[in-house]
């Protein structure tokens, strides 16, 4: 997950202390049951679409926004798959910032647009069959998220 400008400003006040943040993850599926994933630009790893819930934004709104921003698609949220948190959802960024995420995970369908990376946060957006997910090219965070909802684990 890339740090939002809001989080960067917040870090000025809390330093590298562990910060507990709400987030979303979106797993669009197509008619063949494939899952849309994005490749994160700064790590090269595959991940679920998602990110931080901005102040004043609902999880639903964040999921729809992140889908548009990261993958260039408009989604309809189908159902809540889970709300996940715990030690496996902690990230330490290269600058030493530590974050613990609680992620609201949605299944969705694409209702507009064609999967396209944003060229900033994401470098690719591709459909994957569940039995062919690139688990060895995912962070432990993403693998824990998928496992937490019963995929790939």
pLDDT value for 7: 61
- Looking at the predicted structure, is the pLDDT value of residue 61 above 60? yes
- What are the boundaries of each domain within the chain? 5-148
- Looking at the predicted structure, is the pLDDT value of residue 27 above 80? yes
Class of domain 5-148: alpha beta
pLDDT value for 14: 59
Confidence of residue 4 (pLDDT cuts 50, 70, 90): low
Q: How is 51-117 classified by DSSP, letter by letter?
A: EEPPTT--HHHHHHHHHHHHHS-EEEEEEEEEEE-SGGGEEE-TTS-EEEEEEEEEEEEEEES----
Among 35, 15, 65, which Cα is nearest to 142's? 35
Tokens of 18: 């562990």
pLDDT value for 1: 52
pLDDT value for 153: 60
Torsion of CA 82, 94, 71, 7, to 10 degrees: 70
Give CA–CA dist 34/82, Å, rounded. 19
pLDDT tens, position by position, 70-117: 999 999 999 999 999 999 999 887 788 888 999 999 999 999 999 999
The whole-number average pLDDT for the span 120-140 is 96
pLDDT value for 96: 84
Please, what is the Cα angle at 59 between 83 and 73, to 5 degrees? 110
């Amino acid at each position: 997950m890339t740090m939002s400008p809001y989080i960067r400003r917040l870090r000025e006040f809390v330093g590298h202390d562990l910060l507990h943040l709400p987030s979303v993850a979106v797993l669009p599926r197509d008619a063949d049951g494939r899952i849309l994933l994005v490749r994160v630009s700064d790590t090269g790893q595959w991940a679920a679409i998602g990110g931080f819930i901005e102040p004043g934004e609902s999880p639903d709104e964040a999921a729809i926004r992140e889908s548009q921003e990261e993958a260039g698609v408009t989604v309809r949220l189908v159902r809540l798959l889970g709300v996940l948190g715990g030690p496996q959802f902690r990230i330490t960024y290269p600058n030493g910032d530590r974050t613990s995420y609680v992620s609201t995970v949605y299944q969705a369908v694409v209702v507009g647009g064609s999967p396209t990376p944003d060229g900033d946060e994401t470098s690719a957006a591709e459909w994957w069959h569940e039995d062919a997910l690139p688990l060895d090219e995912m962070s432990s965070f993403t693998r824990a998220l998928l496992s937490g909802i019963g995929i790939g684990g």
